[in-house]
Structure 1
Amino acid sequence: MLPALSDIALDQLFHEARTHRWWQDRPIPEETLRSIAELAKLGPTSANSSPGRFVFVVSREAKERLKPHLDEGNVRQATSAPATVIVAYDTEFYEKLSTLAPNNPGARSWFAGKPDAIERTGFQGSCLQGAYLIMAARALGLDCGPMGGFDRKGVDETFFPNGKLKSNFLINLGYGIPEKLHPRQPRLALEEFCAIA
């Protein structure tokens, strides 16, 4: 049995973790971004399909390419963040199942030529993998600001012109400015979102 995490770790991952929108002018080392991705890839996905794809937008040129596709209210927070991750999914993820799911030799046939199954598994899996990325970033001492306010078609045409990848959501990463945080928004009471049957 695994031991429970310490209260300090739980605070960093959950209790004190917040959505940040204001960032210190402090770059994230590339090695840290790579470590985040290496951790995030370890989380489970359906049939180990691992459809999520991450683009870490860090350069001035890449940020300028992203900027026109952001909702107006998200421009400042994304352009000032040291990194913005485009969380996307590969619509041909099943082509890697011979490597990722060797215990299921027929796994490719579950998806190939089945657009509904591809869309469901790709979207679902990339949501999970994006959440794993948030937790990995927090575990390594970064703050996060996930957001959905952007033009997906524009991002896809700009960053994924071959049409194989589809964007899902964005995550700003960096070192937040605690003084700029608003009070935590309310959460539902346990009984309002949870049942134990």
Structure 2
Amino acid sequence: MNTKDRIIEATFLLSLEYGYNNVSIKQIKNKCNIAASSIYHHFENKDEILSYLVDKYIMSIIDYERDHTKDLDVSLMKKLEINFYYAIGIDLLNNKKPLIIEGNHINTKKYYLMFTGIYHQNPEYRNLFSEAIEDILNFFKELIEEGKDKKEIREDINSEKMSLFIYSNMRGTIEIWLNSDYEPETLIDSNLELIEKILQ
């Protein structure tokens, strides 16, 4: 891994623990075991690291999620189940192992809390979050269209509206899971059951 990637990864891991705005350049250099001048060689300031961090660690999750499921020879509902579980950090295709990013086991609750903090405290980067949401919605639209082509679901389903509905359910699942004692399986099963009834 090159120095630039090491800096981004270190910032990400430190931000999971302390929140991005609480991480200092000193902590980053210590984590990487490099001089501060090496950081400034690659990045003008800490905020420039943030744009790389958001792009890499949000978009990489979405790209992996898409690549992880798009070519599976399973039903639409199974693909949605895999994606709902993946959204809370459980990899159904890998014996329910926790999410791994760049070789690091990730606490998904910390991941969401970190990015929620970044979203609220750094509004200049909200466009990256909007792009991520659009990518997810487009991915769900593709899955729905594929389901219609395979005659798994009703042909009159509006793909755009249904992708919004599915994503809203997924986000709701995440929010309740983050802020309650509900088991994720209960939340996911309830939402998928409702989605399946609508699709049929």
Greater helix percent: which structure? 2
User: RCO higher in 1 or 2 (8 Å CA, sep ≥ 6)?
Assistant: 1
TM-score by length of 1: 0.29
TM-score by length of 2: 0.29
